[in-house]
Structure 1
Amino acid sequence: MTRLTAVIGNPREGSRTHRLTATVVDKLASAVGAETEVVDLAALAPVLLDPYGEQATRAREQVAGSDLVVLATPVYKATYTGLLKLFLDGYGTDGLAGTTAVGLIVSAAPHHLLSTDIHLRSLLVELGASVPTRSLQVLESQLEEPEAVLEAWLAAHVATLRRALAPVAEEVPA
């Protein structure tokens, strides 16, 4: 079965980003047939600066071993949070090779959404992840009722994600 891990990059535990991520992960897991896990970076914040710390290492291994990773972040200064960057900086080049990644962006202003997607996508590709879809972008004004945005995003992207997650067919000798 597909392993889906959500990485929540909001520095506050119990944040609106965290609650939205739970909804997104439930729906996405149902759509692609996945078991889910969560890495809440707010809980890991005190140990992320130690590059050899056991908790941070386990969390990074969990994410790198996942088939699908949802990276959720509010917009901070027109990009993702420093906490998410700190976590991702713990990977070497191609540290996320073999994973499919999806960004989940929460923003107060619509003009931040594209720049955030560009910055997060660039970092994920640098780490070797496959990023086959646009990020799911939710405005703060949509947080109380995100279902319409989520359903529209799923309708547009779930087939692409299913293809990306499909096992690679074994090569047949010529």
Structure 2
Amino acid sequence: MTVTVVAGNPKPDSRTLDAARLLAEALCGRPADASVDVITLGPGLLGWGDAGVEAAVATVSASSLVVVASPTYKASYTGVLKLFLDQFATAEGLAGVVAVPLMLGAGPAHAMAPDLLLKPVLVELGATCPTPGLYLRDKAYAEGPELAAFAERWAPTVTAVTGVAR
């Protein structure tokens, strides 16, 4: 079973990517098998047929579990993440994939953004989202109890749906 993290941050190797990796490991008890740091795909995201983008899409589509993460920008997920998600050619591009939406932000004002904004686009692409989304404070995502509490509560559900054991 393949576990992948996708980070749609405009900065490479970001806190968003780190938080996604931490969440995947907390849910599964092991590091993710693959990471897609979307910004590193570069200008290939602006068109169709780029080999690197196609490989990233194939990796995500073939995954059992994907943690899809974004910082909160203008009360939503980032444009670079949207460009990547637009690369899934059909409304069933994520069929058979379990996705967990994760967003980071500066304060609690956008705590519902993962469920209200990111989860619907993942479901539209065919993903199954059996858990609520997770919102973490960007400066305290690794130190706070929220990530561990989320994993403790939802890991059994993720395991039941994906077969990826914790």
Same fold per superposition (TM over 0.5): yes
Q: Is the Cα–Cα contact under 8 Å of residues 75 and 116 in structure 1 kept in the other structure? A: no
Q: Is the Cα–Cα contact under 8 Å of residues 25 and 32 in structure 2 kept in the other structure? A: no
Q: CA deviation at 1:144?
A: 5.0
2:122 matched to 1:101? no
Secondary structure, aligned partner of 2:9? coil
The match for 1:117 is: 115
Secondary structure, aligned partner of 1:94? coil
Q: Tell me the alpha carbon deviations over residues 59-90 of structure 1, each in whole angstroms, 9 at most, x when there is no partner.
A: 00110000000001000111100011110011
Choose the corresponding residue for 1:76, options 54, 73, 78. Answer: 73
The match for 1:26 is: 25
Gaps spanning 5+ residues in structure 2: where? none
Closer, same or farther: CA 117–139 of 1 in aligned 2, 3 Å: same
Choose the corresponding residue for 1:139, options 137, 140, 146. Answer: 137
Gaps spanning 5+ residues in structure 1: where? 168-174
The match for 1:36 is: 33
The match for 1:62 is: 59
Q: Which structure would you say has the larger Rg?
A: 1
Q: Is the Cα–Cα contact under 8 Å of residues 9 and 72 in structure 1 kept in the other structure? A: yes
Please report the TM-score for the alignment, with normalisation by the length of structure 1: 0.87
Secondary structure, aligned partner of 1:51? coil
* 2:123 partner amino acid: V
Secondary structure, aligned partner of 1:43? helix
Closer, same or farther: CA 34–164 of 1 in aligned 2, 3 Å: farther
Work out the CA distance in 2 between the residues paired with 1:162 and 1:144. 23
Identity across aligned pairs (percent)?
37
Q: Is the Cα–Cα contact under 8 Å of residues 115 and 133 in structure 2 kept in the other structure? A: yes
* 1:93 partner amino acid: A
* 1:38 partner amino acid: S
2:85 matched to 1:88? yes
Work out the CA distance in 1 between the residues paired with 2:54 and 2:126. 18
* 2:87 partner amino acid: G
Secondary structure, aligned partner of 2:46? coil
Secondary structure, aligned partner of 1:48? helix
* 2:55 partner amino acid: R
Q: CA deviation at 1:103?
A: 0.9
Q: Is the Cα–Cα contact under 8 Å of residues 78 and 115 in structure 1 kept in the other structure? A: yes
